[in-house]
């Protein structure tokens, strides 16, 4: 193992320069080498912070810093002096602030931190705080960089990251114990692993073309992803992002606790159904799993589990076993009412029938799975392909935010609005930076600046003249925006230069996506 350099610690400016170099190349090998060079310079004390920042995330899940907190900042410093250890300590301090007066203290702490940052470092900090630098491909590049910096197989780093739940945890093992430490990592009941993710296809036929027949087809339920660990008398429940929410899902916990198995790791969804069998809307389901402060007095639903995969039973780890084997064992181990609806399709028709049925009943769609695929934790693997309806609307761009990382210098994050049916006022429904190609970024930056009416440090506000076709997965109730709803998973398909804002879709049109009781 190559020994890391020691000294006073990695500077934030060093990471800024690395981020700029990463943004200037699309070569995976070049990205790996840039990251490896930084990690070779990183000490044991800094490695978790540096790996986290290179992956685009703060180590702290929550800091309490919102957009409003960053609206007024001091002038940037002329010279770089900040070290990543100092940034991490400041974020840790702000994350711990609570109670009366904490907002003011946090604002002061933000000002002190940003006042020591150069203009480029301020941009990098914003991107880290709001998660705008995160992307799955980048984390994979960080894992490759770790392997290159310490001369170990990249597969060993990836598997350890999967089983430990994070690349930062794998980095800690690697830098302190080398390859032997990575190879000792196994699935441990009670420690959440990164979940397997699904690729996408526009319809069932195309998904089956990629998977082949026979295929396992699961109903895709519109709940929250859960990973449940049971060992001895203890049950722990984790979200897709590996946050623990055991105390917020008592029905899930009790149902799993009653199962006649001492050790279990299960993957599934938690949701609530209405009397007619349709799902409660996602926003209410998500709120029911939120913290008490996030719930804001709303009534909690009783969320129950529906499982679609089994990773461990007893002392046997099934991660590397084919899905068809995992499915058979899970079906024997769990009562049917705890299982996601599933069919084995020998031909296209049964898969289409399940898709049509679940969509008509108000669920998301289906996930079509390769029966021979292992559990590819932490990856968006072609062994699973999701299919769900896509809704498209023509919405008006009313503002855009400056991008970060490789999008620095371009207007990226779009503010999307629909017309009010009665007043023609434009009502904001959400933001997105998804789906934008480099050509679109270049075009919209030039065009938007021609339409600028005013700006803040981060946002350029526009004359409402540009219409874009936006795809969304659905709509949810939200108090964040004046229309009372927000877009779910919005992404840009194209600009509609043939349409004027007067021809954009109306708020009432979008609200038809809501269940009748919520309109």
Alpha carbons 228 and 438: distance in angstroms, whole number = 40
Which CA distances in Å does 125 have to 23, 36, 457? 16, 21, 14
Residue 511 among the catalytic residues: no
The structure tokens listed for 406 are: 């490789």
The structure tokens listed for 439 are: 């050509």
For residue 519, the 8-state DSSP code is -
- Pair 507, 483: CB distance under 8 Å: yes
- How far is C-alpha 33 from the chain's CA centre? 26
Alpha carbons 151 and 59: distance in angstroms, whole number = 25
Alpha carbons 472 and 146: distance in angstroms, whole number = 36
The structure tokens listed for 461 are: 């506000």
- Count of alpha carbons within 13 angstroms of residue 405, beta-carbon side: 22
For residue 404, the 8-state DSSP code is -
E strand or H helix at 427:
strand 426-432
- Pair 400, 414: CB distance under 8 Å: yes
Alpha carbons 139 and 145: distance in angstroms, whole number = 10
Residue with token string 């690395």:
18
- Pair 431, 415: CB distance under 8 Å: yes
State the Rg of the chain over Cα: 24
| Distant-in-sequence, close-in-space partners of 61: CB < 8 Å, separation ≥ 6 | 95, 241, 243
Longest CA–CA span in the chain (Å) reads 68
| Residue 197 neighbours by CB distance under 10 Å | 16
E strand spans, 169-210: 197-200
Catalytic residue, chosen from 31, 220, 369, 431, is 220
E strand or H helix at 468:
strand 459-472
Which CA distances in Å does 350 have to 213, 326, 365? 11, 21, 14
Q: How does DSSP assign 277-313, residue by residue?
A: SPBPPHHHHHHHTS-HHHHTTPPPP--EEEEEEEEEE
Mark 343-355 as b/e (b = at least 16 C-beta within 10 Å): eebeeeeebbebb
Q: Are strands 474-477 and 411-419 parallel, antiparallel or unpaired?
A: unpaired
Which CA distances in Å does 173 have to 43, 153, 179, 502? 13, 14, 9, 58
SS3 227: strand
Q: Which residues are catalytic?
A: 220
């Amino acid at each position: 193992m190559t020994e890391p350099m020691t000294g006073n610690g990695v500077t934030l400016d060093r990471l800024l320069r690395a981020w700029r170099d990463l943004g200037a190349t699309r070569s995976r090998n070049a990205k790996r080498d840039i990251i490896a060079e930084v990690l070779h310079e990183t000490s044991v004390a800094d490695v978790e912070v540096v790996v986290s920042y290179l992956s685009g995330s703060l180590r702290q899940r929550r800091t309490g810093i919102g957009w409003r907190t960053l609206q007024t900042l001091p002038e940037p410093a002329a010279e770089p002096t900040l070290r990543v250890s100092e940034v991490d300590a400041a974020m840790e301090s702000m994350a711990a602030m609570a109670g009366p007066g904490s907002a003011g203290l946090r604002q002061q702490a933000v000002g002190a931190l940003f006042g020591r940052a150069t203009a480029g470092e301020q941009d990098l900090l914003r991107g880290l705080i709001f998660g705008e630098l995160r992307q799955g491909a980048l984390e994979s590049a960080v894992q490759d960089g770790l392997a290159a910096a310490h001369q170990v197989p990249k597969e060993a780093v990836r598997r350890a990251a999967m089983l430990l739940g994070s690349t930062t945890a794998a980095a800690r093992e690697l830098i302190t114990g080398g390859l032997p430490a990575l190879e000792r990592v196994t699935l441990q009941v009670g420690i959440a692993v990164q979940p397997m993710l699904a690729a996408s296809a526009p319809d069932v036929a195309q998904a089956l073309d990629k998977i082949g027949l026979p295929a396992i087809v699961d109903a895709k339920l519109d709940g929250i992803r859960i990973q449940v660990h049971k060992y001895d008398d203890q049950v722990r429940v984790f979200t897709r992002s590996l946050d623990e929410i055991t105390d917020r899902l008592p029905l899930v916990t009790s149902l799993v606790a009653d199962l006649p198995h001492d050790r279990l790791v299960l993957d599934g969804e938690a949701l609530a159904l209405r009397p007619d069998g349709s799902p409660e809307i996602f926003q209410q389901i998500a709120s029911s799993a939120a913290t008490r402060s996030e719930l804001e007095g709303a009534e909690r639903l009783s969320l129950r589990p529906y499982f679609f995969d089994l990773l461990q039973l007893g002392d046997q780890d099934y991660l590397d076993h084919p899905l068809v084997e995992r499915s058979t064992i899970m079906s024997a181990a769990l009562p049917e009412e705890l299982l996601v609806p599933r069919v084995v399709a020998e031909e296209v028709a049964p898969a289409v029938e399940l898709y049509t049925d679940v969509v008509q009943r108000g669920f998301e769609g289906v996930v079509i799975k390769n029966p021979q695929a292992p559990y590819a934790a932490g990856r968006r693997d072609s062994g699973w392909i999701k299919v769900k309806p896509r809704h498209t609307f023509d919405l008006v761009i009313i503002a855009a935010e400056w991008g970060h990382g490789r999008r620095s210098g371009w207007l990226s994050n779009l503010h999307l609005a629909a017309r009010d049916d009665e007043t023609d006022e434009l009502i904001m429904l959400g933001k997105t930076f998804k789906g934008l190609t480099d050509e679109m970024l270049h075009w919209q930056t030039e065009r938007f600046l021609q339409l600028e009416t005013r700006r803040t440090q981060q946002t350029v506000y526009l004359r409402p003249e540009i219409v874009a076709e936006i795809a969304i997965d659905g709509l949810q109730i939200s108090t964040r925006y004046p229309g009372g709803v927000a877009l779910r998973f919005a992404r840009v398909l194209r600009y509609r230069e043939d349409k004027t804002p007067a021809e954009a879709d109306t708020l009432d049109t979008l609200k038809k996506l809501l269940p009748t009781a919520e309109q």
